[in-house]
Structure 1
């Protein structure tokens, strides 16, 4: 199964492609957007992230570029999980779209696609323990806190606190 085009009430989610590099590069260059991630990325680093992301797109999993009224609204992803039947949810939005409910709306569509279309058993999401906004989004779509952990240093910018959290929901709980 290839990645389908997905839609919510406001967002058109299209499979990420090489044509979206400029959107990814601009998003990844914003220090506020990247605050709880690996830090600001150069255009070259964003291009490498794009290549890596495109490599895992298969079986309906992957990353989607979201558009609202033809304007770029962010990225949403379902990455292959640590075991079969699982996927990791991710999202990243430009600041101009923060606090408009788009992160939640796109993330809900990722859950729907994962559970209904792909038959996943579990979807989880991880973030920095300090990223309370992302944790609130996770909770608002039905994911529950399952653990605290110390993240791989490559996940965060050098010098960042490595404390992280994982939220998850199973298919039965989601239904």
Structure 2
């Protein structure tokens, strides 16, 4: 008997693990083909299907960092429409009880609180069920919308840093920012 995949639901969203199917790959290709969605990632250059398959899709799958501790396809509960993804995955080069939070949504889903709603569900899962001690989020300094989502989820500014990225992005001279929230801070806020 196969165990059904874990799903997370919020008032308006369903988050589910990605599957190794062409249908799920198509969803990610459509998302990453929008220059505005990719503005702060590749400078607006759409990703090709081959690039997505080789560079990002495999890590979104269970076993590749996805699933219960990774990437979640995000859909509207009432229509089933795919609007993007959220992730909460073990931090790269971080202690095992630290996780990175992320999200990428279709432009049509921007400004509706979906990024925050999915992020809050993953923060609750991360600190509650998964036992993380610290959750971080990172974005470009100039990405005000993403910074706002992190702030409204309770993460606070930690630092600005500069890294070499494969793509030149307008505003990258201002660097990237890290935000963080600890389990103790989350509990103190009445989670």
Structure 1 equivalent of residue 48 of structure 2: 42
Structure 2 equivalent of residue 146 of structure 1: 158
Query: Per-residue deviation at 1:73?
Result: 1.4
RMSD: 1.6
Query: Per-residue deviation at 1:80?
Result: 1.3
2:65 maps to 1:61: no
Q: Distance in 1 between matches of 2:88 and 2:142?
A: 22
Say which SS state the counterpart of residue 153 (structure 1) adopts.
coil
2:74 maps to 1:72: no
| Higher radius of gyration, 1 or 2 | 2
When residues 173 and 3 of structure 1 are mapped into structure 2, their CA distance, relative to the original with a 3 A threshold, is farther
Say which SS state the counterpart of residue 147 (structure 1) adopts.
strand
Please say if residues 72 and 86 of structure 2, whose CA atoms lie closer than 8 Å, have aligned partners that are also in contact: yes
Query: Per-residue deviation at 1:3?
Result: 6.6
TM-score between both structures, scaled by the size of structure 2? 0.84
Q: Higher mean Cα deviation, 24-33 or 43-52? A: 43-52
Please say if residues 40 and 169 of structure 2, whose CA atoms lie closer than 8 Å, have aligned partners that are also in contact: no
Query: Per-residue deviation at 1:159?
Result: 5.3
Q: Distance in 2 between matches of 1:152 and 1:56?
A: 23
Q: Distance in 1 between matches of 2:106 and 2:135?
A: 24
Q: Distance in 1 between matches of 2:8 and 2:165?
A: 33
User: Match for 1:21 among 5, 19, 25?
Assistant: 25
Structure 1 equivalent of residue 59 of structure 2: 52
Structure 2 equivalent of residue 100 of structure 1: 112
Please say if residues 13 and 67 of structure 1, whose CA atoms lie closer than 8 Å, have aligned partners that are also in contact: yes
- Figure out how many residues of one structure are paired with residues of the other and give that number: 171
TM-score between both structures, scaled by the size of structure 1? 0.92
Q: Distance in 2 between matches of 1:153 and 1:66?
A: 27
2:133 maps to 1:113: no
Gaps of 5+ in 1: none
Q: Higher mean Cα deviation, 36-45 or 144-153? A: 36-45
Q: Distance in 2 between matches of 1:90 and 1:164?
A: 14
Structure 2 equivalent of residue 11 of structure 1: 13
Gaps of 5+ in 2: none
Say which SS state the counterpart of residue 31 (structure 1) adopts.
coil
2:101 maps to 1:89: yes
Structure 1 equivalent of residue 142 of structure 2: 130
